[in-house]
């Protein structure tokens, strides 16, 4: 590897190592931290790009943090960047899980430990809620996107429809809606 690529891969590794090391809860709790680090601090992506990235990584199988790191790492430095990003986000979690599991079994009946985890769960819930609100503000633009989101929410929560089904249906409806809007707009301009 040339020196520039090595430095870029090291930068990617360190960035995702910090994200992995300082995020409690993983998954959705990592999204606001990834967004802040990648969009605001590093300026590797724009807000719309990270929103699209989050949509893609949530619709494919796998761990959200690893999917995000691989996607962003690949965008920055190809396959090498994807590998370094994945290693960066996984190593802290793997190490912490080994330590915590050893300690947890020793102190699992301790009231203080149980209360600490209850507090952590509440904090993670707040992080997930903040992420949902931020994503909604950026993604829900126009009647069709609001209709798709509302319908998907209703189907998932009240009718137990699998999220993948709603994601695929939303994509199909979005494409059809675009072509109908495009056709309507094109014909309107043509008639003028």
Find the mean pLDDT for residues 78-106: 89
Residues 110 and 171 grouped into a single domain: no
Residues 116 and 130 grouped into a single domain: yes
Predicted confidence (pLDDT) at residue 191 exceeds the cutoff of 90: no
Residues 21 and 108 grouped into a single domain: yes
- Cβ-contact 84, 77 below 8 angstroms: yes
- Cβ-contact 47, 120 below 8 angstroms: no
Residues 79 and 153 grouped into a single domain: no
Residues 68 and 130 grouped into a single domain: yes
80 phi, psi to nearest 5 deg: -60, -40
Residues 110 and 144 grouped into a single domain: no
Residue ranges with strand state E in 12-99: none
The pTM of the full predicted model, rounded to 2 decimals, is 0.64
Find the mean pLDDT for residues 136-150: 88
What is the C-alpha R_g of the chain? 20
Which pair of structure tokens corresponds to residue 158? 């009240």
Number of structural domains the chain divides into = 2
The 10s digit of each residue's pLDDT in 115-124 is 888 898 898 8
The confidence band for 81, taking pLDDT boundaries of 50, 70 and 90, is very high
The confidence band for 1, taking pLDDT boundaries of 50, 70 and 90, is low
pLDDT given at position 3: 83
The 10s digit of each residue's pLDDT in 123-142 is 888 888 888 888 888 888 88
Q: How many C-beta atoms surround the C-beta of residue 124 within 10 A?
A: 17
Find the mean pLDDT for residues 21-26: 76
The 10s digit of each residue's pLDDT in 52-63 is 898 888 878 888
Residues 167 and 177 grouped into a single domain: yes
Structural domain ending residue among the three candidates 139, 156, 171:
139
Residues 55 and 17 grouped into a single domain: yes
Residues 122 and 150 grouped into a single domain: no
The 10s digit of each residue's pLDDT in 36-76 is 999 999 999 998 899 889 888 887 888 888 999 999 999 99
- Cα torsion for 27, 28, 33, 34, to the nearest 10°? 70
Q: Distance between CA 72 and CA 160 in Å, rounded?
A: 32
Helix then strand then coil, % of the chain, to nearest 5: 85, 0, 15
The 10s digit of each residue's pLDDT in 152-189 is 999 999 999 998 899 899 999 988 988 888 777 766 77
- Cβ-contact 86, 70 below 8 angstroms: yes
Q: Distance between CA 88 and CA 96 in Å, rounded?
A: 13
The confidence band for 27, taking pLDDT boundaries of 50, 70 and 90, is confident
Domain with 72 in it = 3-139
The confidence band for 192, taking pLDDT boundaries of 50, 70 and 90, is low
pLDDT given at position 31: 85
């Amino acid at each position: 590897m040339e020196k520039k690529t090595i430095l870029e891969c090291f930068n990617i590794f360190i960035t995702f190592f910090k994200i992995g090391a300082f995020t409690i809860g993983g998954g959705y709790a990592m999204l606001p931290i990834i967004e802040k680090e990648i969009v605001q601090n590093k300026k590797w992506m724009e807000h719309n790009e990270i929103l699209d990235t989050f949509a893609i990584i949530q619709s494919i199988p796998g761990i959200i943090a690893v999917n995000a790191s691989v996607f962003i790492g690949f965008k920055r430095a190809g396959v090498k960047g994807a590998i370094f990003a994945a290693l960066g986000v996984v190593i802290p979690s793997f190490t912490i899980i080994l330590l915590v599991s050893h300690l947890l079994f020793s102190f699992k009946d301790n009231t203080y430990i149980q209360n600490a985890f209850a507090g952590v769960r509440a904090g993670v819930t707040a992080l997930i809620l903040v992420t949902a609100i931020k994503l909604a503000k950026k993604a829900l633009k126009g009647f069709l996107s609001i209709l798709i989101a509302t319908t998907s929410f209703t189907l998932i929560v009240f009718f137990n429809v699998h999220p993948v089904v709603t994601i695929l249906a939303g994509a199909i409806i979005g494409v059809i809606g675009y072509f109908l809007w495009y056709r309507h707009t094109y014909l309107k301009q043509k008639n003028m």
